[in-house]
Amino acid sequence: MGPYLEIVNPVLWEIGHVAWFHEYWTLRHAAGRAPLIERSDRLWDSSNVAHKTRWHLDLPDRAETFDYMADVLARQEDLVNGIDDEARYFYDLSIRHEDMHVEALTYMRQTLGYAPPIALTDRAPPPAGGLAGDASVPGGTWRLGSTSCEGFVFDNEKWAHEVALEPFRMARAPVTNAEFATFVDEGGYRIREFWSDAGWAWRERKNAERPVYWQPKRDGAWTARRYRGSEELAPNAPVIFVSWFEADAWCRWAKRRLPTEAEWEAAAIGEPAAGRSTLSDYRRRWPWGDDPPNTTRANLDFAFDRPADVAAFAGSDSAFGCRQMIGNVWEWTASDFLPFGGFFADPYKDYSQPWFGTRKVLRGGCWATSARIARPAYRNFFTPDRSDVFAGFRTCAL
């Protein structure tokens, strides 16, 4: 089950919840089947089962939970070839929901100090070094959000709408461990002027002096806890497990700023207009073009067991030269998680609507994110105090 913490679920409960979500939306909602377990809604419906009670439910044991998951999958396989587009939507929703929980279970292992997933223990990316400098992105009109031709999208991405952007300069790479370490070494966590009021209150409440898993220096080198072990920080890998408050403080110290999500998206999949110093109307499907992700372009789908150096994946560069905007590490933006104009909740009404106005937007995905999730227009969202997720950041010039 794991210990009670506000930022995680019991492991056994979370796996059962994934199976229940599949069953609820594909077999029961789309196909009209009866529940496989009569009391399942009272156990696993996250909209109605209070978080703090999930450690105290009369859950099926581990073997029974996986049997339930296997039963749901077998019934889905019997139905899937005959479904219509309306039913397909719920299969698309359910597999992406599972993708999210696979990633959550992975950073939960880190939070709880469990062993790493066994198949990933020897899959470290090769060293590639650092990547300095800014990319210039022209201003103009950008259509922020998703379009109906993109296939499955979540309700908070609907729909693409025009946003005016001024020209800006964005870092070609995310902030690295070495760059963040300088902020720590110079006492950035103790200097009030670098922190917002909410950020300073968070820092004092947490008594934070460095990123959550960083350990005191050994022989002049920073180390960090990784799962249940400890290792020296890779200087050219992106800093990870930092909250939005920490990212914002680093920016103030460095005289930089976080990009808005519109700037992030334009830098990722926009192109310059031919013969003009403005953004084109054309949107690439991925930063590098229309071809799908692979291991030469993006650190996704557990291709490696950690973030790669920021200079890796040269084939991932956007039209403006920004690298790794898909995969490797989620990137905080300056934007609050708010609905786009005309928002209307999809059938899973609790996916977005309850969280508007309380979270910050992240973009791009990380090494443990599915390519189904890590589309350029996908809007991830967490509260600004969360430092347990696979999040880092890149910055813009003031």
Q: Which residue has the tokens 């790794």?
A: 324
User: What pLDDT was estimated at residue 276?
Assistant: 84
**What are the residue ranges in the chain where pLDDT is below 50?**
none
SS3 assignment, position 197: helix
Please, what CATH class does the domain formed by 122-398 belong to? alpha beta
User: What pLDDT was estimated at residue 264?
Assistant: 98
Q: For residue 30, give every residue at least 6 positions away whose Cβ sits within 8 Å of its Cβ, in sequence order, or none.
A: 83, 86, 87, 90, 91
Where helices occur in the chain by DSSP H, the ranges are 11-22, 40-44, 62-79, 85-112, 177-185, 197-206, 244-254, 261-269
User: What pLDDT was estimated at residue 123?
Assistant: 81
Q: For residue 218, give every residue at least 6 positions away whose Cβ sits within 8 Å of its Cβ, in sequence order, or none.
A: none
Q: What does the alpha-carbon distance between residue 153 and residue 378 come to, in Å, rounded to a whole number?
A: 8
Q: What does the alpha-carbon distance between residue 153 and residue 76 come to, in Å, rounded to a whole number?
A: 21
User: What pLDDT was estimated at residue 355?
Assistant: 98
pTM of the entire predicted model: 0.97
- Start-to-end CA distance of the chain, whole Å, equals 46
User: What pLDDT was estimated at residue 221?
Assistant: 93
CA–centroid distance for 70 within its chain: 27
User: What pLDDT was estimated at residue 124?
Assistant: 86
Per-domain residue ranges of the chain = 11-114, 122-398
Contact status, residue 259 vs residue 394, Cβ threshold 8 Å: yes
Q: pLDDT tens across 195-230, in order?
A: 999 999 999 999 999 999 999 998 899 999 999 999
Q: What does the alpha-carbon distance between residue 59 and residue 136 come to, in Å, rounded to a whole number?
A: 54
User: What pLDDT was estimated at residue 56?
Assistant: 97
